[in-house]
Structure 1
Amino acid sequence: MDVVTAARPGEVTAPDHRAAARPLPATPPENRLIMPVQSFRSWKDEDRRRPVAPRAWKTPWLKRLLVFGGGLALTAYGAWEMYNVVSVSRTTSLQYVLLVLFTVNFSWIALAFTSAVLGFFGLLFDRTRPVHVDSLQHRTVVVMPIYNESTARTFAALAAIRESVEATGLGSHFDYFIVSDTTNPDVWIAEERAFLALRERLGPEARVYYRHRPKNHHRKAGNIADFVTRWGGHYEHMVVLDADSLMTGTCIVRLAAAMEADPDAGIIQSLPLIINRNTFFARLQQFAARVYGPVIATGLAMWSGRDGNYWGHNAIIRTKAFADHCGLPDLKGKPPFGGHVLSHDFVEAALIRRAGWSVYMLPDLTGSYEESPPSLIDVSVRDRRWCQGNLQHSRIIGAKGFVAPTRQHFATGIMGYLASPLWLMQLVVGILIVLQVSYARPEYFTQEFTLFPVWPRFDPERALNLFALTMAILLAPKLFGLLLTLFNGKLRRAGGGAIRLIVSALIEVLFSAFFAPIMMLIQSGSVFQILLGRDTGWNPQRRDDGSIPLKDIIRRHRMHTLLGLVTGISAFLIATSLFAWMSPTIVGLVLAIPLSWASGQLAIGLWLKRRKLLYTPEEGDPPAVALRANALQAEFAAAGYDDADGLRALHAEPALREAHEAMLPEAPPRRRGEIEADRAVAQAKLVDAETIDDAAIWLKPKERMVVLHDRALVALLASLPAERPAT
């Protein structure tokens, strides 16, 4: 068979008959970019580039005035009403504390409300039409970082994306790069087998590449940085994915065209919608993201303008600008607040914007998708990492040179997690005030003359009105999204019809209210752990549908249930009005265990799906790229790569072993007399092993990784017989 060697990405030379025995390289020749480490402490304004097209660089001052001015006005009104609620008579210190906590929490939802109002009217009167792209000038690479993922899922998604891009007729402008940080030896070999099978399937001109990094230094940010510094010089732009990302070819081509048409664009973010989810909790998230998400994202995009944010995936980036300005420094100190930047995407957007490049979102660009964790516990695991990353931004928000909207994005992320402990504190202070009202002795002699004793009291009518206002502001963005879906005939029909959409929205609101206090306690616990100095680490995310063992659910939520019972009984004994006020929180906590169990149940989700409840337009009219990815995933899963033992596969397939060795980087020379303990142990076990089964049983995961990284040890592994010799 003729072997075709790639001279550079996108170019193919004539067949090389002399190299017929040499496998095609897994990566193209390196074309390096320098990625200097940036400083948060020093910056000169003269270093900021000047826009090439300044007339297109319009700051949406009026929209920002509406959002932030309106949010401030609402907050002032809410604070004044709360002051009137607690100042009926003598105001205690606890009531002032309650006023402050309420004002902070209310400001958070008021800002979200005004931004949603802007997004609602922006979508209501939107008249933009998709632009057909028939030509591109530059090269773009689609980069998928993976970390201990299912190869059937990730390689099927990449293959489907490539097919969709090829169908646009502009496929020659795109390359595809899978950059692996996998630390599981069996998954690593599965990735190599899947890559080789995919390349054989697509042919030598597919321009699909694969690289495994020996050390996952700085995690995903380091993974992308390694790619940029080694191969980034080949490409004007890169589309960065997540392992669960899926994008249509039309979406990717339009992103590339938008980048080419805007010489000042540094990052252009698409709005990923959640698809392919079937568990109960995941379907709640999928429905909410599809129906309410566009309103929120459009409002954010409208007031942010060119000072937008980056969510780390499903976006296109100008590669040279990213290399020049997005080298992340390590923060002084130890994790959780020190060390490498965990939530790198916000920081990369801030740095590239500081340098004079624009960052913005195209929320009306369709064809961008992702998936979500399948259960409440899975979400909380991911959320713990996000919490640490966002709180870490408190050390970055004051960096020199950042524009004000960038600092607002950081503040929003930080407040997203501080809101939970603040809400918890507000509930605790409210309980203490009720106790004070119920059991405090009246003060007969005050500084002012009065004929009656003075108790700390509330204005119940104002309190009820303020509660109604708070709930209206909180639920309004969901109502806006539902109305827009109902107004759009195509979306309404694809979502199951008006009645089902309304029922689905009611289900989502009800169960979101039940899940909210559980997440409040989980997030509050995460914040307190981080403040105590506990690092989260970085565990691979569980993406498949599936339930969690009941004993693990009980262990995780038993304290939540106990707290709900104690709070409910105490509130009822103190005052029935307090019990009624806290009933949504109490019910959510008392039912934490069954709610968490139900969240991961596939049967519940599928039952709702069959009745077209929590049904999204993408389920009624599935995107072709999703159908193709699902079909390819079934084919790739049938190959069994994810279920195989990596060492045995490498031993049984000489071609795989040869390709594996070819993909290994050159090992750094070892110093004479220096002995690496793990390598010495692995080598000793291989020497003692009589068969490949012995080696597979004896070698621990860390030792397996040592073997797989060492050509000499791989050769020693290959020399082992498959079976014990007959005696």
Structure 2
Amino acid sequence: MDALTDRPLAAPVQRERTAMPSSAPLAMPAQSLRRWTDAERRPLKAPGLWRTPWFARLVAFGGMVAITAAGGWQMYKVVEAGGVTLLEWAFLAFFVVNFSWIALAFTTGLLGLADLLVHGLNRKPVLPPALGKRTAVVMPIYNESPARVFGTVQAIAEDVAATGHGASFDFFFLSDTTDPDIWIAEERSYVALRERLPDIAVHYRHRPKNTARKAGNIADFVTQWGGNYDHMIVLDADSLMTGETIVALADAMEKDPDAGIIQTLPRLINRNTLIARLQQFAARVYGPVCAAGLAVWSGRDSNYWGHNAIIRMEAFASSAGLPDLPGKPPFGGHILSHDFVEAGLIRRRGYAVYMLTRLDGSYEESPPSLMDLAIRDRRWCQGNLQHSRVIGAKGLHWATRQHLATGIMSYVSSPLWLIQLLIGLFLALQAAFIRPEYFTNQFTLFPAWPVFDSERAFKLFLITMGILLAPKLFGWFVTLVNGPARRGCGGAIMLTLSTLLEIVLSALIAPVMMLIQASSVSSIISGRDTGWKTQRRDDGSIPFRAIVERHWRHTALGVVAAIAAFSISPYIFAWMSPTIVGLWLAIPTSWASASATIGWSLRRLRLLLIPEEYAPPPIAERAYHLGKEFEALALEDGKALDLVHGDPAFRDLHQHIIQVPPPRVRGKVDTDRVIAEAKLTDAQSIEDARQWLSGREAMLVLHDRALIALLAALPHAQQAEPERAAQN
């Protein structure tokens, strides 16, 4: 029995006007990936809630095996005419691996189709009369626009309060911001938000060092204040959730004592560029089918996507402490894609992890351009490949290993497809130009000669395309037969045209993303760390020159591939044409992907329309208008050092908000702090300090009360000049 399981319910947190509530430490030990015994698994409190979906798993994985075996046999028959060469065996092996990937997507989509046709798309939650436990709603932020995130949380908090359950929730901004000007703008926005929400507990904390990034940010909150709360709902900086959804999640967690994580299915909204609208449409039409199928066969052994979910605090603290992986990044160090691993460790402890795919009111946003998508994808790629160090951890449920394998395969599949494509091209080249060796050292009646059954190959190509596109067609059909969803997508005709347009545009983007992901996998394997950059969240365009620099190699490769394919055979060129055309158009496609003008034009034509645009969620409109109100306050215009130096009232408030640093260890000197103190001591004016202090040093000054005192004592240059003249 876990020690945390029997602890008393946390007392209601006093709603003082402080930046953070009273500390309530909660132990969160790092979990071992090498040691585990079944005795460490907690006993179930409600075994009657557990149902293993054996039939759904038989359909998903048995169907995948059957389809893969049939496809592999057909490909063998394609290449076995005239004998199978070593290169053809390699081609067959890569085909089977890649085909199994799309076969599982097909069977999962089939389960999702059946589930949605039986149970429908969405259900309005029935809210409880009262909640008995406390929940923290936490939003980790990292160099985000304060106006956006504080406006969003105000909209969420107001919506929660409107349900009548506002007293059960506290809201937290957990800042890891590294830009001092943004940090101070966050504090000023926080003060403004407290004045706007006098009856709601809103808190703010900034970490001096963003150790372990988002996972470390959440862990820091849990270990210092987690004991105050029974649950936490984790948001991303672009997350948005309605009050009803948040209350429904808390109610579901209270009714299921074995639930560790309950995940929602966020919908993509609020974006207007071409690629963002493409992703929004795909997520809205195809996403529910894939998510429903995944939820059906996963059951209570599901996954976690890092946000828009509720987590039982005791489960997280006792089970999800992440260890550092041995070695250096990109495969060692802090675990980047922590959410998959946290879900697996919580499931290992004996808690359920599952999805409520039909719970409405959960939203997020998508990258505004193909280049932004590639930047985020590079980070995700490293995190998922890092899971190769975790997938063999002791005690993990096999479904967890499957989720980890799926994440790994989602990126490894790109270089595998590329290798298969190159092998196929080489085989065709060999068949067209290389003469057979009739007289070899070994006696054979016929030369070794790559021969293909072209008719069977064409049929297999059509079958493969059908299996690949089937989940999209399933999503189209489910949306078509659902009246509100169909009308929200512009009606049956516009829904169909939008689906066809999405398929064409995705086909153009797919070869470019294949090369980008293959390059990412290659660079990670070679040892290059991705770092952690702030994600762009606006709809701003990208300079055309930057697009050309990013994609000219893709275009050049498309030209070379076209020449090579056409020189072999027009049929080979036709077979490779989807990939070739996508590479040819890499530059204009990337440029168009970032265009809000094209996106708005499609919206006016009712193409790629989603129901959330046809009837915008009130909370999304409220968050947008509140963000504009925060922008109008101009809280982001000032410079951090000037504000803390020149405004005594804000300086006092700032010193009240910052955390007291731990006592310095004797003999251990922070060289950055020493340098910052020396610069402040030498400075004769605030202008000197502003000019001399680096961003890192400014952060240290603003986190240290002693250094703040030195900063506050500095005069302005015009005041310092007479003093220097008098001294001289």
TM-score (norm 1): 0.95
Q: Is the 8 A contact 1:690 1:724 kept in 2?
A: no
Deviation of 1:643 after TM superposition, in Å, equals 3.4
Aligned 8 A contact 1:164 1:248 in 2: yes
Query: Is contact 1:144–1:243 with CA below 8 Å preserved after alignment?
Result: yes
Unpaired runs of at least 5, structure 2: 1-9, 723-728
SS in 2 for 1:340: coil
Deviation at 1:159, TM superposition (A): 0.7
The letter of the residue matching 2:389 is R
Q: Deviations over 1:525-578 (max 9, x none)?
A: 111111111111111111111111122211111211111111111111122111
Give the structure 2 partner of residue 73 of structure 1: 66
1:285 aligns with 2:288: no
Letter in 1 for 2:38: D
Q: Confirm or deny that 1:54 pairs with 2:54.
A: no
The reply on whether 1:33 has 2:33 as its aligned counterpart is no
Q: Deviations over 1:421-453 (max 9, x none)?
A: 000000110111011101121354698986x86
How far 1:169 moved relative to its partner? 0.8
- Of the structure 1 ranges 319-328 and 703-712, higher mean CA displacement relative to structure 2 is found in 703-712
Give me the whole-angstrom Cα distance separating, in 2, the residues matched to 1:425 and 1:643: 51
Question: Partners of 2:294 and 2:494 in 1: how far apart?
Answer: 28
Q: CA deviation at 1:611?
A: 1.7
**CA distance in 2 between partners of 1:634 and 1:532 (Å):** 45
Partner of residue 183, structure 2: 188
- How much has 1:721 moved relative to structure 2? 3.2
Which whole-Å CA distance do the structure 2 matches of 1:584 and 1:640 have between them?
A: 49
Task: State the partner residue of 2:207.
Answer: 213
Secondary structure of 2:718's counterpart equals coil
Please state whether the residue corresponding to 2:531 is helix, strand or coil.
coil
C-alpha contact 1:292 1:478 (8 A) present in aligned 2: yes
Task: Give secondary structure in 1 for the equivalent of 2:535.
Answer: coil
In structure 2, the residue matched to 1:17 is none
Quick check: 267-276 or 193-202, which moved more? 193-202
Q: Is 1:178 paired with 2:181?
A: no
Counterpart in 2 of 1:19?
none
Point out the more displaced range, 648-657 or 273-282.
Answer: 648-657
1:221-620 aligned at under 5 Å gives the runs: 221-444=215-438, 455-620=449-614
Measured against aligned partners, the alpha-carbon deviations of 1:97-124 in whole angstroms (never above 9, x if no partner) come to 1100000000000000000000001001
Distance in 1 between residues matched to 2:11 and 2:132, nearest whole Å: 17
The letter for the 1-side match of 2:699 is: M
The match for 1:82 is 75
Q: Deviations over 1:385-411 (max 9, x none)?
A: 111111111111111111111110011
| Residues 1:630 and 2:663 aligned together | no
Matching of residue 155 in structure 1 with residue 158 in structure 2: no
- CA deviations over 1:611-650 (Å, ceiling 9, x no partner): 2211100011111110100000000111222333111222
Of residues 139, 154, 159, the one that matches 1:144 is 139
Deviations 1:664-687 (A, max 9, x none): 222344467876443343334334
8 A Cα contact 2:27 2:317, kept in partner? yes
Q: Which residue of 1 aligns with 2:725?
A: none
Q: Percent of pairs identical after alignment?
A: 61
1:9–1:207 CA contact under 8 A, matched in 2: no
Q: What are the within-5 Å matches in structure 2 for residues 194-209 of structure 1? A: 194-203=189-198, 205-209=199-203
Judging changes above 3 Å, is the alpha-carbon distance between structure 1 residues 469 and 675 closer, same or farther for their aligned structure 2 residues?
A: closer
What amino acid is aligned across from residue 459 of structure 1 in structure 2?
Answer: D
Structure 2 Cα separation of the partners of residues 265 and 55 of structure 1: 13
SS in 1 for 2:172: strand
Q: SS of the residue aligned with 2:119?
A: coil
What letter corresponds to residue 14 of structure 2 in structure 1? Answer: E
Q: Secondary structure at the match of 2:137?
A: strand
> Does the CA contact (< 8 Å) of 2:53 and 2:297 recur in 1?
yes
Matches of 2:53 and 2:313, distance apart in 1: 27
Q: What do you get for the CA RMSD once the two structures are aligned?
A: 1.8
Contact 2:250/2:310, CA 8 A, preserved across alignment: yes
- SS at structure 2 position matched to 1:30: coil
User: 1:18 maps to which residue?
Assistant: none
CA distance in 2, matches of 1:712, 1:42: 46
2:640 & 2:561 partners in 1: Cα distance? 52
Match of 2:163 among 162, 168, 172: 168
Q: Distance in 2 between matches of 1:347 and 1:555?
A: 36
Letter in 2 for 1:34: A
Q: Match for 1:710 among 693, 701, 704?
A: 704
Aligned CA distance change for structure 1 residues 454 and 333 (closer, same or farther; 3 Å): closer
> Aligned letter for 1:436?
Q
Q: Deviations over 1:327-375 (max 9, x none)?
A: 1111111111111111100000000000000000000000000001111
In structure 2, relative to structure 1, the CA distance for the partners of 1:542 and 1:567 (3 Å cut) is: same
Q: What amino acid is the match of 1:82? A: M
SS at match of 1:217: coil
CA contact (8 A) 1:495 1:617 kept: yes
Contact 2:125 2:244 in 1 (8 A): no
Instruction: Tell me, in whole angstroms, the C-alpha distance in 1 between the residues paired with 2:520 and 2:237.
Output: 25
Confirm or deny: 8 A CA contact 1:661 1:711 kept in the other structure: yes
- Classify 1:235/1:688 alpha carbon distance in 2 versus 1 (closer, same or farther; 3 Å): same
The answer for unaligned runs of 5 or more in structure 1 is 1-6, 14-23
Aligned-partner SS, 1:650: helix
Higher mean C-alpha displacement, 161-170 vs 659-668? 659-668
Q: Which amino acid counterpart does residue 32 of structure 1 have in structure 2?
A: P
3-state SS in 2 of match to 1:51: coil
Quick one: structure 1 residues 697 and 292, their matched pair in 2 at CA, closer, same or farther if it must change by over 3 Å? same
Letter matched to residue 45 of structure 1: D
- Report deviation, 1:723: 5.3
The DSSP-based 3-state class of the residue aligned with 1:535 is coil
Match of 2:647 in 1: 653
Aligned residues: 709
Contact preservation (8 Å) 1:182, 1:212: yes
Number of the residue aligned with 2:93: 100
How far did 1:418 drift?
A: 0.5
Aligned residue identity for 2:638: A
| Counterpart contact for 2:166–2:200, Cα < 8 Å | no
